[in-house]
Amino acid sequence: MTTKPTVGWIGAGRMGSQLIKRLLDAGYEVAVYNRTRAKAEPLTEFGATVVDRPVELAGRNIVFSMVSASKDLEHVMLGEGGLLTDDGRAPKLIGDASTVSPEASASVRSVAEGRGVGFLATPVSGNPAVIAAGKLTVAVSGPRDVFETALPLLQTWGRGVTYVGEGEVARTVKIAHNVFLGVVTQSLAEITVLAEKAGVTREAFLEFLNDSVMGSVFTQYKTPAFVNLDFKPTFTNVLLQKDFDLGLAAAHNLGVVMPVASVTRNIVAQEVGNGNVEQDFATLLLTVARGSALDIASENASVSDGLEAE
């Protein structure tokens, strides 16, 4: 009988808490640290335990983390009470699912591997609704043998796990993904407003688009927000601006020209500067509508996000 590895998790936000539940449902024993302990406590109802410092997870076989920014990753791993600060204990494997810079990831990897700990970058594509539908995808980079060890756990998260190479390349994959996310959303907002100002409802236009070769899982997913102006946050402009900045920094370092991304980044930054920091980034639709002298209102239509559970 094979014994499942014990699991630690750092960061029980909207995404992290859903992935923890999937690991618990798969029969893994999970201990959780979150900066605000009260936000992790509800997970005890599903069988998780909660600790007060990341270093208390050092005795776990595998530890995953999902935090907001590069400085947060460095802090929970290397700062006071960080996971890798126990001189006697360390996990066998760390997988980090945050969207952070390759440089921050490399600094943590160096310390981890110096202690004989396998380190994987495991950023994901999705949000809580995508997780609930079983459609989350994961990009992974690091040593291939470490990836093979972590694969059964990563497969509990959703429908797809892609090994993309050594080192920090998964960071660039995720950053490129999120830059595209922002550019597509801005473009989708512009063409939707164009159609509506010509007299077409957003519901009709997006139904046509989603059925065409230009439609996608993402355009379908954003349809309810665009049609009914429901901007409950799945991803904020603050986080999107951070990822644009990471993407443009990578482009600068690699000598890649990204004019469309640069313009879109400035639009998103203006949203943040204007105080749009809590709602979903699909509010870019409202900004385009205002700039186009279009009085936009919810269509109160029954439209699908395409995320029926698998």
Distance CA 190, CA 194 (A): 6
* Cβ within 8 Å of residue 307, ≥6 positions away: 129, 130, 132, 133, 135, 221
| Whether 124 contacts 99, CB under 8 Å | no
Helix (H) or strand (E) holding 132: helix 128-132
Task: Tell me if the pTM is above 0.85.
Answer: yes
Dihedral angle at the C-alpha atoms of 14, 15, 21, 26, nearest 10 degrees? 170
Distance CA 165, CA 179 (A): 20
* Cβ within 8 Å of residue 134, ≥6 positions away: 158, 159, 309, 310
pLDDT of residue 309: 60
| Whether 183 contacts 135, CB under 8 Å | no
Q: How far apart are the first and last CA of the chain?
A: 29
pLDDT of residue 308: 74
Query: In degrees, to the nearest 5, what angle opens at C-alpha 53 toward C-alphas 47 and 55?
Result: 100
SS3 content of the chain, % helix, strand, coil (to 5): 50, 10, 35
Dihedral angle at the C-alpha atoms of 120, 121, 126, 131, nearest 10 degrees? 20
Classified by CATH at the fold level, domain 7-166 comes out as Rossmann fold (3.40.50)
pLDDT of residue 216: 94
Classified by CATH at the fold level, domain 172-291 comes out as N-(1-d-carboxylethyl)-l-norvaline Dehydrogenase; domain 2 (1.10.1040)
Domain ranges of the chain: 7-166, 172-291
pLDDT of residue 58: 97
pLDDT of residue 2: 62
pLDDT digits 0-9 by tens, 141-194: 999 999 999 999 999 999 999 999 999 999 999 999 999 999 999 999 999 999
pLDDT digits 0-9 by tens, 231-252: 999 999 999 999 999 999 999 9
* DSSP helix/strand/coil, 156: coil
Q: Which residues of the chain have pLDDT under 70?
A: 1-2, 309-310
Query: β-strands 49-50, 30-33: how paired?
Result: parallel
| Whether 264 contacts 244, CB under 8 Å | yes
| Whether 93 contacts 123, CB under 8 Å | no
Question: 84: how many CB neighbours lie within 10 A of its CB?
Answer: 23
Which amino acid appears at position 114 of this protein? G
Distance CA 304, CA 102 (A): 36
Beta pairing partners, 121 = 96, 141
- What is the DSSP secondary structure assignment for residue 33, as one 8-state letter? E
Burial pattern 16-33, b for ≥16 Cβ within 10 A else e, equals bbbbbbbbbeeebbbbbb
pLDDT of residue 209: 98
